[in-house]
Amino acid sequence: ENILFAFSWPGSRPGSKVRNELYYLVRSHPYKKARLKDCVLCVDFAQVTTPDDRVAFIDTSPLTEDELWTEFEVGQLIMLDRGVPHLSFFDCAQAEHEGRGLKSNAFEESKYSSSSEVSSAARA
């Protein structure tokens, strides 16, 4: 349920050298105050979250000046599961195993219930 996929597209059109930069930041307990870069505003996340919360932010540039943001690599796909970034296929397996990940209520459920059945059908 709490899955988000984010992709850093390498350009706006074929052959483009323009880069759609993305950065992410994950916050968890204990929360501290964050100072925004582009305005005189400080947010105390301890007042709007609980110790059980984990929050992930994605933006085209770091929003705060006092935190370490991680830059996406060009063409990188990241799955955020409950606020935790997963950077490889194998990292995503646990969320998929627990029923999150690529499952969607927007489409009818596939007649294939496991990857071995899909592989068997593909060979047929």
- Using a cut of 0.85, tell me whether the model's pTM lies above it: no
What is the model's pLDDT at position 69? Answer: 92
What is the model's pLDDT at position 119? Answer: 42
Instruction: Count CB atoms within 10 A of the CB of residue 8.
Output: 19
**Which structure tokens are listed for 33?**
């105050």
- Is 80 exceeded by the pLDDT of residue 12? no
Residue pLDDT, tens place only, 20-57:
688 999 988 888 888 888 877 777 888 888 888 888 88
Please state the φ and ψ torsions of residue 117, each to the nearest 5 degrees.
-70, -35
| Stretch among 27-36, 56-65, 87-96 having the lowest mean pLDDT | 87-96
Tell me the one-letter amino acid at 76. Q
